[in-house]
Homo-oligomer: A and B are copies of this chain.
């Protein structure tokens, strides 16, 4: 029994009293309370893999910021790890895979992940569910197969992901096999998240923007659709960062909500996606402004979505050096709009 189900109703395109609001990366990017939990641990992964602590930092933004949903604290790279490819989270540098997938032989070392391989996240959701006691819904999530594939081939972040993109030209068969394995792993993982209590799920395609449109259709959107079509129990959100060119195609994806970058034209998105709820899309840098600027920018953003099903958010994850008071100001502006 949810006391606040605004975000679920907005996702389903139903009437809402006010626009719901949450932030990507709200769990742990900016709060001193998060940092104090984190400081006691060996690293980021220990936090991801310790359900009680993951639940604690998941709930912090609900208590401290007043958001309308809790997104489970985890990482998209738990999937490759569960498939057999370990990652390290290097402080201030980001993820690194000591081993990458270069050939069919490497692929043989991988398996399709089972939810029990990711029991720590499932347990974290259960604990969160219990502790939240219906205050707000829980958002589960996973990376889009193309984005996960990129990391598994590239071995870490990259400006161009040219190694991953090269694989699509040089070995489309291997590419599709790996994408299929990631997709299968992701579907059962998201279903387990839902069974554990996630009320909606989001698919993050962080590197959507580096693909040419034909490759995006073939190597990314196809697998996103398989996932979105498989998750019938709860509303699905797709956030394909940088995929302006694919906005039109999102109309045909079996998701309820489409996330928008801060550089996307809201007016155009509304025309192209009349039947989708839209999520976003304030420039994360707008929160560097004064309190008056934050209020003004937030209101301008809300004006643009007026009359369309909308979940307020930034157009990207909150930047780590953002003042939590400015985040609160953003959230309160949405709530009192």
Q: Which residues of A contact B (CB under 8 A)?
A: 157, 159-160, 162, 165-166, 168-170, 209-213, 215-216, 242-245, 262-265, 268, 283-286, 288-289, 293, 315-316, 319, 321
Q: A209-B263, A212-B262, A263-B212 are in contact. Are A285 and B162 (CB under 8 A)?
A: yes
In the bound assembly, the distance between CA atoms of A284 and B293 in angstroms comes to 40
Q: A212-B263, A262-B212 are in contact. Are A285 and B166 (CB under 8 A)?
A: yes
Instruction: Please indicate the chain B residues that have their CB under 8 angstroms from the CB of A168 in the complex.
Output: 285
Instruction: Please indicate the chain B residues that have their CB under 8 angstroms from the CB of A265 in the complex.
Output: 213, 245
Interface residue from B212, B244, B289, B321 paired with A244 (Cβ < 8 Å): B244
In the bound assembly, the distance between CA atoms of A80 and B210 in angstroms comes to 29
Q: A245-B244, A245-B263, A265-B245 are in contact. Are A319 and B288 (CB under 8 A)?
A: no
Which of A264, A288, A293 has the most chain B CB atoms inside 10 A of its CB?
Answer: A288
Contact between chains at A166 and B242 (CB < 8 Å)? no
Contact between chains at B244 and A285 (CB < 8 Å)? no
Contact between chains at A288 and B169 (CB < 8 Å)? yes
Contact between chains at B165 and A285 (CB < 8 Å)? yes
Contact between chains at B245 and A213 (CB < 8 Å)? no
Interface residue from B162, B209, B288 paired with A166 (Cβ < 8 Å): B288
Instruction: Please indicate the chain B residues that have their CB under 8 angstroms from the CB of A211 in the complex.
Output: 263
Interface residue from B157, B215, B262 paired with A283 (Cβ < 8 Å): B215
Contact between chains at A283 and B212 (CB < 8 Å)? yes
In the bound assembly, the distance between CA atoms of A261 and B245 in angstroms comes to 11
Instruction: Please indicate the chain B residues that have their CB under 8 angstroms from the CB of A169 in the complex.
Output: 285-286, 288-289, 293
CB nearest to A316 among chain B residues: B160
In the bound assembly, the distance between CA atoms of A265 and B169 in angstroms comes to 19
Q: How far is the CB of A272 from chain B (nearest CB, A)?
A: 11
In the bound assembly, the distance between CA atoms of A168 and B166 in angstroms comes to 37
Q: Which 3 A-B pairs have the closest CB atoms?
A: A244-B244, A165-B285, A169-B289
Which of A212, A245, A264, A315 has the most chain B CB atoms inside 10 A of its CB?
Answer: A212
In the bound assembly, the distance between CA atoms of A319 and B169 in angstroms comes to 15
CB nearest to A284 among chain B residues: B162
Instruction: Please indicate the chain B residues that have their CB under 8 angstroms from the CB of A243 in the complex.
Output: 263
In the bound assembly, the distance between CA atoms of A283 and B284 in angstroms comes to 29
Q: Given contacts A169-B289, A209-B209, A212-B263, could you give 15 more A-B pairs where the C-beta distance is less than 8 Å?
A: A159-B159, A162-B285, A165-B283, A165-B285, A166-B285, A169-B285, A170-B288, A209-B263, A212-B283, A213-B263, A216-B263, A243-B263, A244-B244, A244-B245, A245-B263
Q: How far is the CB of A297 from chain B (nearest CB, A)?
A: 8
Interface residue from B160, B209, B210, B263 paired with A319 (Cβ < 8 Å): B160
Instruction: Please indicate the chain B residues that have their CB under 8 angstroms from the CB of A160 in the complex.
Output: 284, 316, 319
Q: How far is the CB of A219 from chain B (nearest CB, A)?
A: 12
In the bound assembly, the distance between CA atoms of A253 and B165 in angstroms comes to 33
CB nearest to A208 among chain B residues: B263
CB nearest to A267 among chain B residues: B213
Q: How far is the CB of A247 from chain B (nearest CB, A)?
A: 9
Q: How far is the CB of A42 from chain B (nearest CB, A)?
A: 26
Contact between chains at A210 and B165 (CB < 8 Å)? no
CB nearest to A287 among chain B residues: B169
